[in-house]
Amino acid sequence: MRKILSFIGYLGMVGGLVWLLATGRLLSWSAPVIFVQAAASLLFFWARITFGRRSYHVVADPTAGGLVTSGPYRTIRHPIYAAMCLFTLAGVAGHWSGSAGLCGAIVCASAALRIHCEEALVTARYPEYTRYASTTWRLIPYVY
């Protein structure tokens, strides 16, 4: 069931991003939006490089090779999702409308759904994840 829910989360994230991009509400010429989206992109690539050669799965599926706890993973358990949400919310803020806000909420809610599915699956595969989770933030340092 968690794998199905993680797939639904994936569809929500990708669908929301594609809709925002297609409607011209993801990217902006606003300097603050560009700055935040550039920072989000850097976080995304830093996390992806730190994660290494492991692949990203459409359906949550913890990979072999142990937990990654270095780089941005020292502080945030899900820096790739954090970057995606930050990038999306910056775009929504730069093009505010009710529909853009709803779409941004769908992207972030879908990421949260996926995070909860992944954490259950990772905990089952790596029992030490519980200790790691107790010393890091899920998505936003000092908040969540």
- Tens digit of pLDDT for each residue in 3-18? 889 899 999 999 999 9
Q: Please give the model's pTM, rounded to 2 decimal places.
A: 0.91
CA 61 to centroid of chain Cα atoms? 15
The pLDDT, as a whole number, for residue 57 is 65
- Tens digit of pLDDT for each residue in 31-83? 999 999 999 999 999 999 998 776 666 666 666 677 888 999 999 999 999 99
The pLDDT, as a whole number, for residue 93 is 96
Nearest to 37 by CA among 75, 76, 79, 94: 94
| Three-class secondary structure of residue 135 per DSSP | coil
- What is the rounded distance in angstroms from the CA atom of residue 51 to the CA atom of residue 69? 9
- What is the rounded distance in angstroms from the CA atom of residue 51 to the CA atom of residue 29? 31
Sequence-ordered strand ranges (E) for 1-144: none
Q: Name the DSSP class of 96.
A: -
Q: What are phi and psi of 66, to 5 degrees?
A: 85, 170
- Tens digit of pLDDT for each residue in 86-142? 999 999 999 999 999 999 999 999 999 999 998 998 898 888 999 999 999 999 998
Q: What are phi and psi of 48, to 5 degrees?
A: -65, -40
Q: What are phi and psi of 137, to 5 degrees?
A: -95, 145
